[in-house]
Amino acid sequence: MFEEVYTAKLTKQNRAMDHEDKHLHSRCQHDNYNDVDVCLWWRCDLHISPFADSVNHLQFKFNNTEQLLCSAKQNAEEVEESRLKVGDYVRMVILRLQDSRFRVLLRLKHSRFGVVLSVQHLRLRVILRLQHSCFRVILGLRHSRFRVPLRLKHSRFGIVLRLQHSCLRVILRLQHSSFRVILRLRHSRFRVILRLQHSQWYVV
């Protein structure tokens, strides 16, 4: 029952996004988006929406509402690396969230071999690797004082991993039935929820 409701919800969101895609395309022809670099629609693939070429911010589509998750200035080298064309389907996206005491570097590499996700903190680094060929999950935790590699195999009932830090809390839930990964980053000033559905590589 949950799977049917979840699938119906994703289908409804896709239809809404398709409608807004056309609306934004018409709107962008008349408006000036000098403060927006790229708007990424996280669907089956990472689709670039038709925004202006100027590089200042990264704006993401999140839960069918626009939320500005990153507003950090980029230098010349980063601009060249992140320059994308309208309508492109990208293989790697770099999202940076900057705070006065907190920084997160998140990488998504969408390919037939898996997804590479890395999160960096001042004294904490979490690397999550999803390997598509054998459905294995390798989680590596690195700290200034210790280094712990952890291998998680798929489980019928799922795996819940909680990691607590002075300024960071990560909750990782793995469900084998639909190969979904839910990663939640919580901070005193912001919250990011990333969901990956393995069957369609869907991100909301």
Residue 137 lies in a domain: no
CA dist 54 and 108 (Å) reads: 23
Considering the entire predicted model, what is its pTM?
Answer: 0.23
Residue 111 lies in a domain: no
Q: pLDDT value at position 122?
A: 34
Residue 121 lies in a domain: no
Number of domains in the chain: 1
Q: pLDDT value at position 101?
A: 34
Q: pLDDT value at position 117?
A: 40
Which residues form the domain of 60? Answer: 1-90
The closest of 104, 102, 103, 139 to 119, measured between CA atoms, is: 104
Low-confidence ranges of the chain (pLDDT < 70): 1-204
Residue 183 lies in a domain: no
Residue 176 lies in a domain: no
Question: What is the per-residue DSSP string for 55-119?
Answer: -S-EEEEETTEEEEEE-----HHHHHHH---TT-EESEEEEEEE-SS-EEEEEEE-BTTEEEEEE
Residue 122 lies in a domain: no
Residue 120 lies in a domain: no
Q: pLDDT value at position 39?
A: 29
Residue 48 lies in a domain: yes
The closest of 61, 53, 55 to 23, measured between CA atoms, is: 61
* pLDDT tens digits, one per residue of 62-98: 332 233 233 222 333 343 344 434 433 333 333 333 3
Q: Around Cβ 104, how many Cβ atoms within 10 Å?
A: 21
